[in-house]
Chain A
């Protein structure tokens, strides 16, 4: 059980606007890069999520309310949260985290809205440039109950 706990972690976080541009990206515990440039990776991630949403809306046997929530592979889980304004929060964690929706909602309402939207100097249509936002977000992620930095 001990070795299982040391694997609890957040790998990375992306924030996309509704046009597909990546507004923010940070990584905490990423072991493997995608093998393509960051720009391409953002486009691929956004494209994959766009396709997943379209796929899910066609495949779904019933009418959906929230739509796509997360997916998991053998090694990680991707959590997705989209605000009504089209802002998309994507977080990759390890498999022990089953539901990060509240975390992502908290990041939106308590961090993004507070430090970006309410900041008259911050232009939320371009890359999020607020140091306060980055440091608060970093502190928040590190304080999560399921975050524990891996032994190097």
Chain B
């Protein structure tokens, strides 16, 4: 039972806080000989697998490292273009590590704003009167829970689909926000939250929620 991450979005849709509690890294490292039997392509400043899914390497996985050295964007650590490097037979045999690409902070910002809009559209397309925006979004591997306060701040938690007590956790995070961010005289509203006490208390309430499986009322 796991809580993956927490996002806090201000009323304009900007990400003001993000914390990754548990990031599972399903990675596969294999040694390849020339020619490479996977098809790779450039996507979003990364090199991703486009075809040739096998042995734990899925379509969409990015090249994370070559011969143990992490790649930087589209280039190897030495600055050479990764695709060019892998087309050259002289560089083989080569050991490549594939896995889900980590989200950069820019991408997280964009995704938070994207969700902010989707939240509103969910309310607009409602067949029922008086609907809120998207409060819970479910996929087969995670559930996204969102709580919007009266002032428009959204607390978003990504967790395992079976994790319970997230509603109480969202209220608790709101409480922590008002105690350690809002009451902090050096914190400005709608700005990124950089308050140590907020971080600490958030981490401990996540631990409690994960262990209990159910965040108890009256804490």
Give chain A's interface residues, CB within 8 Å of chain B: 11-12, 27, 29-32, 34-35, 41, 44-45, 48, 51-52, 55-76, 78, 92, 94
Contact = CB atoms under 8 A, between A and B. Distances in A.
Interface of B: 4-5, 22-24, 26, 58, 60, 100, 103, 107, 111, 114-115, 117-118, 121-142, 144, 158
Contacts of A27: 127
A73 B124 contact: no
Contact of A61 (B60, B117, B158): B158
B68 to A, nearest CB: 23
B129 A32 contact: yes
A12 B121 contact: no
Given A41-B125, A63-B58, 16 more contacts: A11-B127, A27-B127, A30-B127, A31-B127, A32-B127, A32-B131, A57-B60, A58-B107, A60-B100, A61-B24, A65-B141, A72-B135, A73-B122, A73-B134, A74-B135, A75-B131
Contact of A64 (B114, B133, B140): B140
Given A61-B141, A68-B139, A92 B127 contact: yes
A63 B23 CA distance: 12
A127 to B, nearest CB: 20
Contacts of A69: 138-140
Contacts of A63: 26, 58, 60, 100, 141
A30 B22 CA distance: 41
Nearest to B22: A61
Tell me which of A11, A70, A71, A94 has the highest count of chain B C-beta atoms within 10 A of its own C-beta: A71
A27 B127 CA distance: 9
Contacts, number: 120
A66 B8 CA distance: 27
Nearest to B130: A75
B126 A59 contact: no
Nearest to A28: B127
Contact of A48 (B23, B24, B121, B131): B121
> What are the 9 A-B residue pairs with the smallest beta carbon separation, nearest first?
A11-B127, A75-B131, A75-B128, A74-B132, A30-B127, A71-B137, A66-B140, A62-B141, A73-B131
Nearest to B134: A71
Contact of B114 (A51, A67, A72): A51
Contacts of A12: 127
A78 to B, nearest CB: 8
Nearest to A66: B140
A44 B121 contact: yes
A75 B135 CA distance: 10
A105 B131 CA distance: 27
B8 to A, nearest CB: 15
Contact of A11 (B115, B123, B128): B128
Given A61-B23, A61-B24, A76 B127 contact: yes
28 contacts: A11-B127, A11-B128, A12-B127, A30-B127, A32-B127, A32-B128, A32-B129, A32-B131, A44-B124, A44-B125, A48-B118, A48-B122, A55-B118, A58-B111, A59-B111, A61-B23, A62-B142, A63-B58, A64-B141, A65-B141, A67-B140, A68-B137, A70-B137, A70-B138, A73-B122, A73-B131, A76-B128, A76-B131
